[in-house]
Amino acid sequence: MAGFLPTLAELADGGHDGLHTLYVSPLKALAADIKRNLTGPVEEMGLPVRIEDRTGDTSYTQKRRQRADPPHILLTTPESLALLTSYEDAPRIFAGLRRVVVDEIHALAESKRGDQLMLSLARLQTLCPGLRRVGLSATVEDPPAIARLLARHPDPCAIIEADPGPAADIAMLDLPDPPPWAGGGAGYAIPQVLEAVKQHRTTLIFHNTRAQAEIFFHNLWLANDDGLPIGIHHGSLDRAQREKVEAAMVRGELRAIVCTGSLDLGIDWGDVDLVIQVGAPKNVKRLIQRIGRANHRYNAPSKARLVPANRFEVVECHAALQAARENDLDGDPRGPGPLDVLCQHILIAACSGPFDADALYAEMKNAGPYAGLSRGDFDACLDFCATGGYAFRAYDQWQRLKQRDDGLWQLRDPRAAQLIRMNIGTIQDSDLLKVRFKGRGGKPLGEVEEAFAASLTPGDTFLIGGQIVAYQGLREMVVEVTRDARRKPKVAVFSGTKFATSTQLSARILSMFRDADWPFLPDHTRDWLHLHRTVSRLPEKDRLLIESFPHDGREHACIYGFAGRNAQQTLGLLLTKRLEELGLDPLGFVATDYATLIWGLQPLTDPAPLFDLAALEAGLDGWLAGNAVMKRTFRASATIAGLINRNMPGSRKTGRQATFSSDILYDTLLKYDPDHLLMRITRTEAMRGLVDFDRIRDMAERVQGRVDLLRLDRVTPLAAPLLLEVGKVPIDGAGRERLMEAEAAALMQEAGLNAL
Amino acid sequence: MNTHDFSFAGQSLQARASGALFWPAQGLLCVSDLHLGKSARQARLNGVQLPPYDVEDTLARLDAEIATTGARHVLCLGDSFDDLAAFDDLPQTAIDWITRLQAGRTWTWIEGNHDPGPVALAGAHLARYTAAGLTFRHIATPGEQAEISGHYHPKARLRGAARPCFLIDETRVILPAFGTYTGGLRCDDPVLTDLMTSSALAVLTGRQMLVLPMRQKRSGRASSSAGR
């Protein structure tokens, strides 16, 4: 509210025509919520102020009307704002704009959505030179860094710190049973969670992934003998269903909501007096954000309880608790703004009308993330947008952008603007398919990932929106299901974002391991760590521990890098590659936030040569090129940069018309044009994203060659949970081909077929 | 095994890991759905500029297959060009390359739905081709016997990996797409299961050719990602 006081003061006399203040938030729901909370007081005071929101959910007619006659205060998201700036009449829409308020700016600053927003703001600043910007957030670990991002570069930015309010009441939820060794469901805690719900007015139960939320909600319902009204809310649910839950919450009708990041940010839903975090929070900032959902009122302490989902998470939750109590926020500095987003904004600029390259370059450098943008990089992006930027100049005739005689750039074919506008945005949900009940006008339920849908056979059951449904088939890219009354879904997993444990939290855990004892830990976990210390040793901050042991007929090596899930995954890929070269026949590996477990036919005896950082980095370049992680990163960047279009005019592509995959484009570029701009972007992005090589480098620097290899006769207490982890990665070598061959043969035999 | 040799309508045929079909008795190499010029067509239609290396890559692989098999007759089974205008957009280097490949051997272009007319290249331009009891046409005709076709770009999944595949039963063979920028249709799609008999095989292309039943009792097992 406070963010709008200057706006209301300036608008009170009714003398302002058109748009005055733009409010941008990361969530559609937040924009809608602010509209509700703002409209009330404004109407009560009888102010002549029109307030509207504009998001992906706004109707077409409403959007058209807003363009023709903008409200005084427009509440929107970065994507909808970028779309607005792409229209030819953007100067008229934004005429008179005085203020921009960016809410929850820390959440935007962590992603490409923030980079996109800052480029849009730079555009608005060109249209409205007197524009003032305000950023709001309750969880910023480095305020000056956010200030540099938000302010028009190189202008200064004032930082105002508000009273933090009373300390939160956070603790572990009291649980009689030890958590399981692995997994993320936390089903063992259902009775205590239900009890906590009974003792509070409204409880938010946070999960890290949508799949976990679904499973937990399902189990909660099975145990909900008192029939407490409990809802579920996550980003894959159908909008109507989400809105129903939100409305019920506002009316105070729900006692609990099982949710994910979709309720992370500042929405004031009803009277929440308890937050339960299920699973390790992975990141202190997210934990504090979620804790803040309880008693979202000034001067009332927030109450939160943590529920570890497995044994290691007990340790991690305690480390997070300590950090949260000390308000020790984490966060890794973000590098310069990525060029795929810049490419998209060049195309957006072209949609709004002819532009001058020098002027556009100057404007983009005013955006904080792009303050250091070189002219060479800008020109490369412009060339990519215009010609494709390939070493082989093929598209002279079919350029996307053309330079006119007067030097300005414009779209060759103005009709191309439609496709560009349809694909604005940087959010990369993997390809999602809608799920609906079978039959004419079947009720939409939500979305699942395409890869998940592909793994289903008719009759398979899975959970969505808390219901068990049976897969019937795929029709016109819609997953058709029927209700299924079984108590246990057969398949219950669709993958979601997996966060890596932050550097700071990992360091805290390693520090904890130095203690002689851990009286604050429950006995089961305490004994587990003591046992591990007896049979092996606990990992240390400045050394790298590797355990080697036989198990189940295979040799295993467990590497305790504590580098976070993504980096440990990369480490697994690089090490198995080296092992294959050394003839040690690795068969597969699995990674968690704290360790990588590799199995194969030969024992590891000399680890030193494996951990030579230079060799690892060299291997990365040559070998990672063909890796799925790179392909996934390429897919995201190529989509943002406008090479791959998620949406096409007309209907969605059908299975019949399936086009080539982005993997083929990647392979082709790797073979014929490895230095292409998109390949350069992909490498940069992968190194700091999914590959997370930075954290492997940090680990190597921390360890300085101090590698301890312990040869043990059996699996150790800390390594055992990794054997139970899902997400095992097979090595795609000669061994895998052999496995495929064996499987094909088995299928032939099963089917009673002989090769014709 | 890097080829899958099979007997079909009394003839010995060879499905190759590249996605090409070779008929040794006739010295005939058959490739389907080259979709040459796809990237140029995309740029022309919607401004999207895909890496313009698909023509070069497709021709290089075809060149290699001709050299390896020593084919005397090359038969392109339709959709050789992404559309007729895409043919006009082909760079001269590509035309020269095709001309060089055609030298000293018979060449047949079968019409496809993407290229429903003759293009200005040497070779026979036909709607279908028949030899020794086998019929080659672009789109399979229900009820036809001893027929070899393309069009559907079939692919199959095994242990989480999707690969283009041949579909083979007693009455027909459907070839995978040979072109570099071509997607695929899962072989459990009703369109394909309606066409093929219950004993149909899917023969996967790739590093190594793999033979499996086209209909799997439990696709869950075949597509589950590999464990240990």
Q: Could you report the per-residue pLDDT of A20-55, keeping only the tens digit for each?
A: 999 999 888 788 888 888 998 899 989 999 999 998
Which residue of B lies nearest to A673 if distances are taken between CA atoms? B51
Who contacts B122 (Cβ-Cβ below 8 Å, separation ≥6)?
B99, B102, B107
pLDDT at residue A362 is higher than 60 = yes
Same domain, yes or no, for A418 and A447? no
Which chain A residues have a beta carbon less than 8 Å from that of B204? 744
Residue with tokens 């954000």: A289
More confident residue, A430 or A96: A96
Number of other residues whose CB lies within 10 A of the CB of residue B145: 12
Domain boundary among A325, A353, A368: A325
Of B206, B223, B219, B180, nearest in space to B17 by CA: B206
Nearest-neighbour CA in chain B from A395: distance (Å): 7
pLDDT of residue A490: 60
Domain of A408? Answer: 339-422
Percent of chain B with pLDDT over 70: 93
pLDDT of residue A655: 36
Contact of A150 with A133, CB cutoff 8 Å: yes
pLDDT at residue B219 is higher than 50 = no
Which chain A residues have a beta carbon less than 8 Å from that of B6? 755-756
Q: How many residues does chain A have?
A: 756
Alpha helices in A180-308 (DSSP H): 190-198, 210-223, 239-250, 284-291
Same domain, yes or no, for A606 and A473? no
Beta pairing class for A99-102 and A202-206: unpaired
How far from chain centre, in Å, is Cα B39? 19
Nearest-neighbour CA in chain A from B46: distance (Å): 6
Which chain A residues have a beta carbon less than 8 Å from that of B157? 454
Which residue of A lies nearest to B191 if distances are taken between CA atoms? A656
Nearest-neighbour CA in chain B from A755: distance (Å): 7
pLDDT in tens, A304-335: 999 999 899 999 999 999 998 888 888 777 78
Asked which of A90-104, A239-253, A430-444 is least confident by mean pLDDT, the reply is A430-444
Two structure tokens written together for A594: 């704290």
Cis peptide bond N-terminal to A154, omega within 30: yes
Q: Is residue A101 part of a domain?
A: no
pLDDT in tens, A714-754: 999 999 888 887 666 666 555 556 667 777 788 877 777 65
Same domain, yes or no, for A269 and A347? no
By Cβ distance, the residue of A587, A643, A737 closest to B207 is A737
Contact of A122 with A152, CB cutoff 8 Å: yes
How far from chain centre, in Å, is Cα A39? 32
- 8-state DSSP, A725: -
Q: Is residue A298 part of a domain?
A: yes
Of B4, B15, B25, B3, nearest in space to B133 by CA: B25
Inter-chain residue contact B57 with A645, CB threshold 8 Å:
no
Of B66, B53, B80, B79, nearest in space to B20 by CA: B66
- Band of pLDDT at residue A584, cut at 50, 70 and 90: confident
Q: Is residue A158 part of a domain?
A: no
- 8-state DSSP, A57: T
Inter-chain residue contact B170 with A394, CB threshold 8 Å:
no
Window A:363-392, CB contacts with B under 8 Å: 387-388, 390, 392
Same domain, yes or no, for A473 and A347? no
Inter-chain residue contact A671 with B53, CB threshold 8 Å:
yes
Same domain, yes or no, for A308 and A452? no
Inter-chain residue contact A390 with B213, CB threshold 8 Å:
no
Same domain, yes or no, for A284 and A196? yes
Same domain, yes or no, for A202 and A299? yes
Which residue of A lies nearest to B47 if distances are taken between CA atoms? A400
pLDDT of residue A676: 96
Of A256, A199, A255, A264, nearest in space to A235 by CA: A264
Q: In chain B, what are the domain boundaries? A: 3-223
Asked which of A354-363, A498-507, B24-33 is least confident by mean pLDDT, the reply is A498-507
Which residue of B lies nearest to A601 if distances are taken between CA atoms? B228
Which chain A residues have a beta carbon less than 8 Å from that of B48? 400, 419, 642-643, 645
- Per CATH, the number for B3-223 is 3.60.21
Same domain, yes or no, for A181 and A312? yes
Two structure tokens written together for B33: 């759905």
Average pLDDT, chain A: 86
pLDDT of residue A305: 95
Of A115, A108, A114, A124, nearest in space to A74 by CA: A124
Task: Flag whether residue A677 sits within 8 Å of chain B, measured between CB atoms.
Answer: no
* B79 φ/ψ sector (left φ>0, alpha ψ -120 to 50, else beta): left
Give the predicted TM-score (pTM) of the model.
0.81
Of A204, A200, A175, A201, nearest in space to A190 by CA: A175
The values of phi and psi at residue A544, to 5°, are: -110, 120
pLDDT of residue B227: 28
Inter-chain residue contact A416 with B46, CB threshold 8 Å:
yes
pLDDT at residue A488 is higher than 80 = no
| Angle in degrees, CA A49, A51, A54, rounded to 5 | 155
Inter-chain residue contact B51 with A665, CB threshold 8 Å:
yes
**Domain tally, chain A:** 4
Of B76, B95, B78, B82, nearest in space to B38 by CA: B82
Residue with tokens 């005019």: A649
Q: Is A604 helix (H, G, I), strand (E, B) or coil?
A: coil
pLDDT of residue B26: 97
**Long-range contact list for A230-233, CB < 8 A, 24+ apart?**
A230/A197, A230/A254, A230/A255, A230/A256, A230/A257, A230/A258, A231/A256, A231/A257, A231/A258, A232/A257, A232/A258, A232/A259, A232/A465, A232/A466, A233/A257, A233/A258, A233/A259, A233/A260, A233/A262, A233/A263
Same domain, yes or no, for A452 and A596? no
- Band of pLDDT at residue B221, cut at 50, 70 and 90: very low
Same domain, yes or no, for A273 and A310? yes
Which chain B residues have a beta carbon less than 8 Å from that of A748? 211-213
Q: Is residue A84 part of a domain?
A: no
Work out the average pLDDT over B82-99: 92
Work out the average pLDDT over A359-380: 96
pLDDT of residue A102: 95
Two structure tokens written together for A450: 């395409």
By Cβ distance, the residue of B7, B56, B161 closest to A756 is B7
Task: Flag whether residue A671 sits within 8 Å of chain B, measured between CB atoms.
Answer: yes
Same domain, yes or no, for A597 and A562? yes
Task: Flag whether residue A551 sits within 8 Å of chain B, measured between CB atoms.
Answer: no
Same domain, yes or no, for A650 and A700? yes
